[in-house]
Amino acid sequence: MASKAKIAILGASGYTGSELVRLLLRHPRVAISVLTADRKAGQSMASVFPQFAPFDLPDLVSIESVDWAKADIDLVFCALPHGTTQTVIADILAKRPDIKIVDLSADFRLADGEAYAYWYGHAHQAPELQAEAVYGMVELHRKDIKKARLVANPGCYTTGAILPVVPLLKKKVIQPDGIVVDSKSGVSGAGRGAKEANLFTEVSEGFHAYGVGHHRHVAELDQEYAKAVGRAVVPSFTPHLVPMNRGILSTIYVTLRKGKTVEDIHAALVAAYGKEPFVHVLPLGQYPQTRHVRGSNMVMIGVVKDRPEGRAIVISALDNLVKGASGQAVQNMNIVLGFPETTGLEQIALFP
């Protein structure tokens, strides 16, 4: 490609937005052309995220100020709150059907209108686009993503819960029922909104669960597990908040099918991901830590035999802002725009 692809980032004043900027500033095939942030429109990116002070970036503008019909934009990353996203994207694609979109919100992740209405409390505002959108879990749906115009980037929790489990369901190594996903996330997953619950003083030196029994992200697990099995599956899922910035660790308790072993689990994961650049399956019996994927697009997965007969524990670790959000979004962009999939995503984890 002679010229660079022109990129717009909607919602650049949030953490997934700044993470996209961090990755794309060093991506050799793209140029950041538009950055929006409604409440901070008019400000420089450096005033909102001082780490970008040394670099040239466009100032923040409001979404309304962008003339989509004429904009020289090849691909839009949409890092807006769920709910408003669907109308924004519908508007953009109405004016410019040729633009590609990678959406980091939850708006297009559920393919089923009823499931969406159940979890989000209202009918979807862009049902045709909901039908068109491709669920961007790259390692599972790469072929569909290549042809997609609108990619629904997966959630951070769900990436860590779907990748280690779906191959086990597909290969019929584990039972679909009774799966327990106990997840622990860093605080950046909660975004940059000024909420009392996310103050340093409320989060540090403590640990707690939230959304117990009814967290929305579980809807993605239901969808992808069901696809793998061919019938409805209802896993247990509990998210917890860890006093750290980045990282999700999911401890997943599964029951083996009769005659299957933990070695079969491990083999199924190696078979699925052995050649993937961003999924690393550890040797059987080893398991990952979030700090060893911090800042990188890598998911690490481990498998251990559990004490009760016929039970196993699968543990995954990822960086919620990279593979769990903006890194996977760039990975999707690379596929959609025909770049080598790892371009701009080679950064190695920052530890300590």
Which residues are catalytically annotated? 156
Torsion region of 343: left, alpha or beta (phi above 0 gives left; psi -120 to 50 gives alpha): beta
Q: How many residues does the chain have?
A: 352
131 binds a copy of itself (CB under 8 A): no
**How far apart are the C-alpha atoms of 140 and 297, rounded to whole Å?**
16
Through-space distance between the first and last CA atoms of the chain, rounded to whole angstroms: 37
By beta-carbon proximity to a copy of itself, the closer residue of 41 and 190 is 190
How big is the chain by its Cα radius of gyration, in Å? 20
296 binds a copy of itself (CB under 8 A): yes
- Which of 36, 85, 290, 328 is in the footprint of a copy of itself by CB under 8 A? 290
Question: Facing residues of 311 across strands?
Answer: 255
**How far apart are the C-alpha atoms of 140 and 183, rounded to whole Å?**
21
- Which of 20, 30, 92, 203 is in the footprint of a copy of itself by CB under 8 A? 203
Report yes or no: 26 and 344 within 8 Å, Cβ to Cβ: yes
**How far apart are the C-alpha atoms of 301 and 307, rounded to whole Å?**
19
306 binds a copy of itself (CB under 8 A): yes
123 binds a copy of itself (CB under 8 A): no
By beta-carbon proximity to a copy of itself, the closer residue of 123 and 351 is 351
Part of the chain binding a copy of itself (CB under 8 A), chosen from 72-80, 107-115, 127-135, 187-195: 187-195
Nearest by Cα to 223 from 283, 133, 328: 133
178 binds a copy of itself (CB under 8 A): yes
Contacts 24+ apart (CB under 8 A), 287-290: 287/313, 287/315, 288/249, 288/315, 288/316, 288/317, 289/249, 289/317, 290/186, 290/244, 290/246, 290/247, 290/248, 290/249, 290/317, 290/318, 290/319
85 binds a copy of itself (CB under 8 A): no
Among positions 249-278, residues that touch a copy of itself (CB under 8 A) are 249, 251, 253
- Which of 317, 325, 330, 335 is in the footprint of a copy of itself by CB under 8 A? 317
Report yes or no: 101 and 78 within 8 Å, Cβ to Cβ: yes
On the CB side of 191, CA atoms within 13 Å amount to 15
Q: How far is the CB of 93 from a copy of itself (least distance, A)?
A: 31
User: With CB under 8 A, what is the number of residues at the site for a copy of itself?
Assistant: 89
187 binds a copy of itself (CB under 8 A): yes
Question: Facing residues of 304 across strands?
Answer: 313
291 binds a copy of itself (CB under 8 A): yes
Report yes or no: 249 and 290 within 8 Å, Cβ to Cβ: yes
By beta-carbon proximity to a copy of itself, the closer residue of 167 and 239 is 239
143 binds a copy of itself (CB under 8 A): no
87 binds a copy of itself (CB under 8 A): no
305 binds a copy of itself (CB under 8 A): yes
By beta-carbon proximity to a copy of itself, the closer residue of 59 and 306 is 306
Q: How far is the CB of 43 from a copy of itself (least distance, A)?
A: 13
Part of the chain binding a copy of itself (CB under 8 A), chosen from 135-143, 152-160, 241-249, 332-340: 241-249
246 binds a copy of itself (CB under 8 A): yes
120 binds a copy of itself (CB under 8 A): no
Q: Which residue has the tokens 């003083």?
A: 201
Among positions 4-63, residues that touch a copy of itself (CB under 8 A) are 15, 18, 22, 25-26, 49-55
